[in-house]
Amino acid sequence: MANSVKNYVCELTGDQIARLRELLQAKGWQLDSIPYAHWRGRLAGTTAVAYQSGKLTVQGGDTADFVQFLLEPEILQTARFGYEKELAEIENPAMFEPHAGIDESGKGDFFGPLVIACCYTDADSSRSLLEAGVTDSKAVGSDKKIAVLADRIRSVCAGSFSLVSIGPEAYNRMYESFGNLNRLLAWGHARALENLLEKVPACPRAISDQFSNPRNVLQALQERGRGIKLEQHPKAEADIAVAAASILAREAFVRRLESLGKTCGMKLPKGAGAQVLQCGRELVSSAGKELLPKVCKMHFKTAMEILC
């Protein structure tokens, strides 16, 4: 399985990034610069990028060798690659107990919906998902890979998941009603969990990332969900159920964003950067400002910049 890996993501310190650059340079890698990165290295179809955020991404046919024989022994001082499932069972046995994970996609994207997913896993499905390479969607390098993993999750979990998609128009109405994003997220997490509990009523606990006081989600739960143990953790995506939910949410977001773009006659970019701003201005210029609330999240400062 490890040798088939073509994408890898990890976090490095500033010293580790500098040391890795020296190693690559000594081994003949071609080094250059790209936006938002300390450096990019390329050799024989494999690319490593060290971003200013501290994230390192590796892509290409020799990704497994790069991680196993250079990155881990020389920089990370560890040997985990290819043994993730075995180590997870030792380090986090609770991850293999029956539980649900909740995550969302689209929260930081100006265009498109907000999608919240909830996924139930047990011992067997957790192992199957780990073997399939399921991980946090932010660590997956392409929409195509997201779609492949989402198909695998749907097959392994056999319907034990739920999706709540809030399109731009509904999102804008709800944001205005709730008054802030955390309360809207709490409502969405509660609805996704309630929907899952209709399918898996015996689910004993649920895990999500820590975005607000857990009481906000508990208060939004209806009768079915009030008996469940709800946990919020920083970096909850390390849990396989939360990682699976993040993949399902991202795949649904990408699919709905593409569909929304087709109705506009224009490809809608992800994120909230300069490309998004330019696209928004082109949309308003061609179709009028009335279109904007139908395709975007109006509380983003990007909306004000487009309309100015």
Full pLDDT tens readout for the chain, 308 residues? 444 677 888 889 999 999 999 999 999 999 999 999 999 999 988 999 999 999 999 999 899 899 989 999 999 988 777 666 665 665 677 888 999 999 999 999 999 999 999 999 999 999 899 888 898 898 887 899 999 999 999 999 999 999 999 999 999 999 999 998 989 999 999 999 999 999 999 999 999 988 766 677 777 776 666 678 888 888 888 899 999 999 999 999 999 999 999 998 899 999 988 999 999 999 999 989 999 999 999 999 999 999 87
Phi, psi of 39 (to 5 degrees): -165, 165
Going from the N-terminus, what domains does the chain have, and what CATH number goes with each?
A: 2-82 (3.30.310.10), 94-256 (3.30.420.10), 259-307 (no CATH)
β-pair type (161-166, 55-59)? unpaired
- Cα 72 to Cα 195: distance, rounded to the nearest angstrom: 41
CA distances from 71 to 43, 141, 162, 294 (A): 15, 19, 37, 46
